[in-house]
Structure 1
Amino acid sequence: MSGLPAGWTFSASAFNITPEVVRAERTAPDLALTLVERGLASAIEVELGQLWRGYPAATLDEARALRERLDAVGGRVSIVGVSIDEWDGHRRRDDDERLAFLEPQLRTSAALGAHGVRLPIGQAGALLERALPLLEELDLVLFEEAQGHQTPAASPEAYARIAEIDSLHVRLLLDISMLMPALPVTYLEELARGGVDPTLVALLRDRWREPETHGAVIDHLRSGRVPGQVHTLYMNLLVRFGRSDIADVASVLPLLGAVHLKFWDLDDSDDRLSDPLRDVGTALGATGFTGTLCSEWGGQEWLDDDPWEMTSRHLALAAALLSDRPPSASLQRASTP
């Protein structure tokens, strides 16, 4: 998109259209293709396990066919979501077996023409070093994704491993769900409708980033008072929703190769959507970042909005904000001696 710094590329995640994949009126590859066909983005992220039923076995012919279809409409795959199944059904896999589980996924991703693959930060562990020759052979980057509560302070060893490997084939992917100044309005409404204690909902609404709020969330869960119908949704408070500031990740930004512009809804009350975008844009500009910035919609868990419209509107907002990046107050604080 015009106005973005050189080397920055907007992309859209096929995860955004998961509800349509579940409806199964069209195949997952067909639906992924619509993100390009409708002009939302020329680069897309895909989830290997969502595309083909043969996962995790190699689907090289199917991957090449999708790559050709994307090429025909001016699109490409940026990053592929892969996984490591730690158990074989009876016992924990050793590192040889873990690498054997991952390798066909890497080869399929290369056949798709992807720039890289994505795993949760820390999951690969020592497998990062062992996979490096294969990543180099396939010319793939393995991105370790940090989101929610997975700050450098919470997982210092995982971040340190990326730095120690010091390879362009192993990089960090930052999900801005780590930088939420407030919770999504629609999420709080869903908790309230589901019967969560109004006092706790008010605390979550007004004091999300305060340390005692996290304690209240855990206490409420342990008490057994979370209604069953919203129990899974409630767990986002402990896993997917972060409360950090951009200054909390400043030390690891040089490791960054990609960003997930996570959003939940499009309610920008008090700039709860805009501020993280502005902050990360300013930080990336200061560190000379190059890579993809991917629109990823997480609110499909409780919203029934049109995924293409949500993605389009979010990308338009992000383009406007990231093309005009005044210094944020948080970054100014971080740079003050």
Structure 2
Amino acid sequence: MTSEIKRGVSLYSFQHETFQGKMSLEDCFRTCAEMGALGVEIIGEQTFWGWPEVGVEDAKIDEWHGLVAKYGATPVSHDFMLDYKRYKGRPMPFEEQVASVRKDIDFGARLGMKYIRALVSIAPEVLVAAAPYAEEKGIKILIEVHAPLHFDHPWIIRHAEAFEKSSSDALGFLPDMGMFLFKFPPVWKERFIRNGVPQHIADYIETAYEDRVLSEYVILNVREMGGEGAALGMAETLRHNAAFEPKRMLDFMPRIHNVHGKFYQMDEDLVEPSIPYDEIVRVLKQGGYTGYICSEYEGNRWIEDAHEVDSVEQVRRQQEMLKRLIGEPAPTALAA
């Protein structure tokens, strides 16, 4: 069954290659186009060096639009940061927070973005105050629902209530699929073992996660097993990750406009072993979602100590999986 769900890539997926100078911005665009993933999402600080502390020259913006046109891409989202609690050694006042969001709205508009991603830590009052300006610019501000938060968390409910009270269509949600971590990622376990976690403790933590044992009990048990350092660090990951239910997206679907296709590894069978993408896509279809799922590869940091990182291959595999799950028709062969 086909759907109107579209495929995209967050260029954050290529952070390893970008940082090492192995991929230019055009390389990123070309790679996405070759995969048929024409939606492009960015983190401004990664793609445009110096942002937001310094302005971005018109030449860089022109280069961006040139690549969009050359590869038939669609700008999807500018993922902005607002670390207001540590701004210049002081808390950022409310008015400055709103002004900062307006600055990112302007930047997103320059890039032709439909959305800008807001960090989950931003208070709903700030986003509501910025919403009228976003409406003027034709931009929607999407708060990222990211583990350990989820759609039943009081902080997210507070945002939902504020958005509805505002009656603004410019406010919405961007769910990150990392909140549906049904199994402990194998690449995490392998990295922790390389970091010194004894096999029996690593096995226990993995099983405890899948059995949904309360994280505080797991941490206590690991300590009693003699675990310390890396072992406690592995146990601590259970505080920040959980297997929330994809179906909870359904009640929020009218305000869900973009999806982060978080993943940590794709095996050769085109399966993400820790995140149930078959169920996720089924729910998105059920909810009538028609936006993008943008690949967001974050496995590089878990393997770079022992293996060559190949973000492109990992993203390619996820895109192949998404094509199947979405029901995207195969290209029609040209007649000889």
TM-score range, shorter chain: 0.7 to 0.9
Structure 1 residues 175 and 77: CA distance shift in structure 2, 3 A:
same
Q: Is the 8 A contact 1:85 1:101 kept in 2?
A: no
Tell me which amino acid in the other structure corresponds to 1:67. Answer: H
2:34 is the counterpart of 1:30: no
Q: Deviations for 1:32-53, whole angstroms, at most 9, x for unmatched residues?
A: 3233353452111111011122
Structure 1 residues 260 and 226: alpha-carbon distance in aligned structure 2, compared to 1, 3 A threshold: farther
Match of 1:317 among 316, 321, 325: 321
User: Are residues 230 and 68 of structure 1, via their aligned partners in 2, closer, same or farther at CA, if it must alter by over 3 Å?
Assistant: farther
- Quick one: structure 1 residues 131 and 247, their matched pair in 2 at CA, closer, same or farther if it must change by over 3 Å? same
**Which residue number in structure 2 is paired with residue 202 of structure 1?**
203
Match of 1:134 in 2: 133
- Give the Cα–Cα distance (whole angstroms) in 1 for the partners of residues 17 and 69 of structure 2: 23
SS in 1 for 2:209: coil
* In structure 2, distance between residues paired with 1:285 and 1:99: 35
How many angstroms apart in 1 are the aligned matches of 2:258 and 2:119?
13
Deviation at 1:198, TM superposition (A): 3.5
| TM-aligned CA distance change 1:299 to 1:123, over 3 Å | same
> What does residue 256 of structure 2 align with?
256
Q: Deviations over 1:158-203 (max 9, x none)?
A: 3333343343311111111111210111211111221224344213
State TM-score, norm by structure 1.
0.83
Distance in 1 (CA, whole Å) between partners of 2:137 and 2:288 is: 26
What TM-score do the two structures reach when normalised by structure 2? Answer: 0.83
**37, 43, 48: which one pairs with 1:41?**
37
Aligned partner (choices 226, 229, 245) of residue 227 of structure 1? 229
Name whichever of 164-173 and 307-316 sits farther off.
164-173
C-alpha distance in 2 between matches for 1:220 and 1:63: 53
| Pairs within 5 Å for 1:180-195 | 180-195=181-196
Structural RMSD (CA)? 2.9
> Residue 18 of structure 1 aligns with which residue?
15
CA distance in structure 2 between the aligned counterparts of 1:142 and 1:35, rounded to whole angstroms: 27
Using the TM superposition, give the Cα deviation of residue 222 of structure 1 relative to its aligned residue in structure 2, in angstroms: 8.4
- Whether 1:289 and 2:289 are equivalent positions in the alignment is yes
With 157-166 and 256-265 compared, the bigger mean Cα shift is at 157-166
Structure 1: give runs of 5+ residues left out of the alignment.
325-337
Matched ranges for 1:1-337 at <5 A: 4-6=2-4, 8-27=5-24, 29-56=25-52, 57-59=54-56, 61=58, 62-86=60-84, 87-154=86-153, 155=155, 156-219=157-220, 225-227=227-229, 231=233, 236-239=237-240, 241-267=241-267, 273=273, 276-303=276-303, 304-323=308-327
Name the CA distance, whole Å, in 1 between partners of 2:35 and 2:68.
12
Cα–Cα, structure 1 residues 12 and 301, in superposed 2: closer, same or farther, change >3 Å?
A: same
Hey, what does 1:333 align to over in structure 2? none
Between the aligned partners of 1:264 and 1:139, the Cα distance in structure 2 is: 33
Q: CA deviation at 1:103?
A: 2.4
Structure 2 CA distance for aligned equivalents of residues 49 and 283 of structure 1: 32
Structure 1 CA distance, aligned partners of 2:111 and 2:181?
33
How far apart in 1 are the matches of 2:21 and 2:310? 16
**CA shift for structure 1 position 211:** 3.9
Deviations 1:130-156 (A, max 9, x none): 111110111111111112221123233
TM superposition shift of 1:122: 4.4
Assess, with a 3 A threshold, how the Cα gap between structure 1 residues 170 and 90 changes in structure 2: closer, same or farther: same
Q: Give distance in 2, aligned partners of 1:192 and 1:305.
A: 19
Query: Residue 4 and residue 236 in structure 1: after superposition, are their counterparts in 2 closer, same or farther (change >3 A)?
Result: farther
SS at match of 2:276: helix
Provide the residue aligned with 2:333 in structure 1: none
**Contact 1:191–1:234 under 8 Å retained in 2:** no
Residues 63 and 108 in structure 1, CA contact (< 8 A), matched pair in contact too: no
Secondary structure at the aligned position of 1:265 is classed as coil
Residue 127 of structure 1, CA deviation:
0.9
In the TM superposition, residue 285 of structure 1 has moved relative to its aligned partner by 1.8
Amino acid at match of 1:36: C
**How has the CA–CA distance of structure 1 residues 258 and 160 changed in structure 2, closer, same or farther, with 3 Å as cutoff?**
same
Q: 1:209-250 CA distances to partner (integer Å, 9 max, x unpaired)?
A: 44424224544798995536995x7765433x3321224444
In the alignment, residue 32 of structure 1 is paired with which amino acid?
C
Amino acid of the structure 2 residue aligned with 1:120: L
